[in-house]
């Protein structure tokens, strides 16, 4: 059975994804791209020969069936095709994978089904096919609205082409989002404010706004080390972050996570599964999962190299290379690390239950006095706006 597109009624944000309610996400990794962007360290690979999609679809079916056997009886609340570039897949491949998910578990009638797409015209031409396959949300990698910047980011689209893809997404899917990268070389708060306002005019309910990170072993890292790429210093990055928060909040798209903005109730439900430490299966090359098996939360990861993953699945029935039960301290640290990224923060009682001890009262008092964290009126602990730029330090302090 293929998961059919939903009626055009708004997606209920509450069902199955209440803050601490049971949700179950399925992440599907498609590891191929047409070219490698110089800033990117995702598990993505360029192949010059055609990809045997039917063979991959069979391997996905096997891995999904094996995962469903270990974690049976779940109701899937979200499915996310990430990459790499999932918009290079034929719609029939997406439909086959959704069929496999539906064979393994039941899928909630209002499940969110997202596909990451690169905004070229070739890919936008497949949107209707994805919708017919059951995708009801796309997330487009627009990255910038300036052609010269896009060229330097190694992108294969122009700003106009990206905006045309956004318009096709708006006309095709109930929900869409797009990504921009800011704090690029020479990026000033004024230039970013203008670009962001232009983006918001085209945005629907959701935007992902990432500060450029120089990832190790990428061409950008080599350029930065050679002094040939200069990203904004800390003060400028902070000013860019502040501009982002103010403009988005004024436009009704407040941050609900460090880099993610949405109209209230229109958050990406799949990503909330990660940040709320709920349960998810990860399938495909290099996918990570967190499954509860026999009452223990387990961390899973699969073989990263696409062809090695294929062969592993074909011989063993799954591509797992990591499958380990987490100890309470690890689960509690991850709960903090992920949950404190969210504007809604965390429930300290849930932390205490996982960790077997409450958060350290002394450290909490210190961070509160520094203005880095605060308690909400309903008893949740969250990072303040001034704490977010130093989030890693806050988490390290509480987790230590
Ligand atoms: C899995 S990636 C890309 C999906 C899709 N292939 C694309 O490029 O549009 C998801 C997003 O991460 C962001 N991203 C990737 N590398 C980054 C980096 N080094 N710094 C900041 N953002 C990054 C980009 O905005 C990208 O759209
Ligand atoms: S940013 Fe997207 S298109 Fe570029 S290499 Fe990474 S996954 Fe591929």
CA distance 231 to 327: 39
CA distance 214 to 194: 24
Please state the pTM of the whole predicted model.
0.94
Give CB contacts under 8 A, 24+ apart, made by 221-228.
Answer: 223/38
Going from the Cα of 162 to the center of ligand 2, the distance in angstroms, rounded, reads 15
Of ligand 2's listed atoms, the one at least distance from the Cα of 143 is 1
- If one residue of 32, 35, 210 were mutated to test the ligand 1 pocket, choosing by the most ligand atoms within 8 A of its CB, it would be 210
Q: Give the side-chain half-sphere CA count within 13 A for 375.
A: 11
Name residues contacting ligand 2 (CB within 6 A): 33, 36-37, 40, 42, 44, 83-85, 118, 141
Q: pLDDT 10s per residue in the chain (400 long)?
A: 333 333 223 233 333 334 556 899 999 999 999 999 999 999 999 999 999 999 999 999 999 999 999 999 999 999 999 999 999 999 999 999 999 999 999 999 999 999 999 999 889 999 999 999 999 999 999 999 999 999 999 999 999 999 999 999 999 999 999 999 999 999 999 999 999 999 999 999 999 999 999 999 999 999 999 999 999 999 999 999 999 999 999 999 999 999 999 999 999 999 999 999 999 999 999 999 999 999 999 999 999 999 999 999 999 999 999 999 999 999 999 999 999 999 999 999 999 999 999 999 999 999 999 999 999 999 999 999 989 988 999 999 998 6
Of ligand 1's listed atoms, the one at least distance from the Cα of 140 is 9
Name residues contacting ligand 1 (CB within 6 A): 39-40, 42, 82-83, 85, 116, 118, 141, 143, 179, 181, 210, 212-213, 215
Of ligand 2's listed atoms, the one at least distance from the Cα of 83 is 7
- If one residue of 32, 34, 83 were mutated to test the ligand 2 pocket, choosing by the most ligand atoms within 8 A of its CB, it would be 83
CA angle at residue 67 from 61 to 69, to 5 degrees?
A: 105
CA distance 18 to 66: 28
Of ligand 2's listed atoms, the one at least distance from the Cα of 118 is 3
Going from the Cα of 170 to the center of ligand 1, the distance in angstroms, rounded, reads 21
């Amino acid at each position: 059975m293929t998961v059919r597109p939903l009626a055009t009624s708004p997606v209920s944000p509450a069902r199955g994804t209440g803050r601490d309610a049971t949700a179950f996400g399925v992440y599907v990794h498609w590891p191929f791209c047409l070219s490698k962007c110089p800033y990117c360290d995702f598990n993505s690979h360029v192949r010059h020969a055609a990809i045997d999609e039917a063979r991959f679809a069979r391997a996905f079916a096997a891995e999904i069936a094996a995962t469903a056997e270990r974690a049976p009886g779940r109701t899937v609340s979200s499915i996310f095709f990430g990459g790499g570039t999932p918009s290079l897949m034929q719609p029939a491949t997406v439909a086959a994978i959704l069929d496999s998910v539906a064979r393994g578990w039941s899928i909630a009638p209002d499940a969110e089904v997202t596909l990451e797409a690169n905004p070229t015209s070739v890919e936008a031409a497949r949107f209707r096919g994805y919708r017919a396959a059951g995708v009801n949300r796309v997330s487009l990698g627009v990255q910038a609205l300036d052609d010269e910047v896009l060229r330097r980011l190694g992108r294969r689209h122009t700003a106009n082409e990206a905006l045309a893809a956004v318009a096709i997404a708006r006309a095709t899917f109930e929900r869409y989002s797009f990504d921009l990268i800011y704090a690029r070389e020479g990026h000033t708060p004024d230039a970013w404010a203008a670009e962001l306002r232009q983006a918001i005019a085209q945005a629907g309910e959701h935007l992902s706004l990432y500060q450029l990170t120089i990832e190790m072993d990428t061409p950008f890292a080599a350029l930065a080390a050679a002094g040939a790429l200069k990203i904004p210093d800390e003060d400028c990055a902070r000013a860019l972050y502040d501009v982002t928060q103010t403009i988005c909040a004024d436009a009704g798209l407040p941050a609900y996570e460090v880099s993610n903005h949405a109209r209230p109730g229109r958050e990406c439900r799949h990503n909330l599964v990660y940040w709320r430490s709920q349960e998810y299966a990860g399938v495909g090359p290099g996918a990570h999962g967190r499954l509860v098996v026999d009452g223990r939360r387990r961390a899973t990861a699969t073989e990263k190299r696409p062809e090695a993953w294929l062969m592993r699945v074909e011989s063993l029935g799954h591509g797992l290379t990591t499958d380990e039960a987490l100890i309470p301290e690890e689960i509690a640290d991850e709960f903090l690390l992920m949950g404190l990224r969210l504007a809604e923060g965390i429930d300290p009682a849930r932390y205490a239950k996982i960790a077997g001890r409450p958060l350290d009262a002394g450290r909490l008092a210190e961070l509160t006095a520094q203005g880095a964290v605060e308690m909400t009126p309903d008893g949740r602990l969250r990072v303040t706006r001034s704490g977010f730029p130093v989030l890693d330090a806050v988490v390290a302090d509480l987790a230590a």
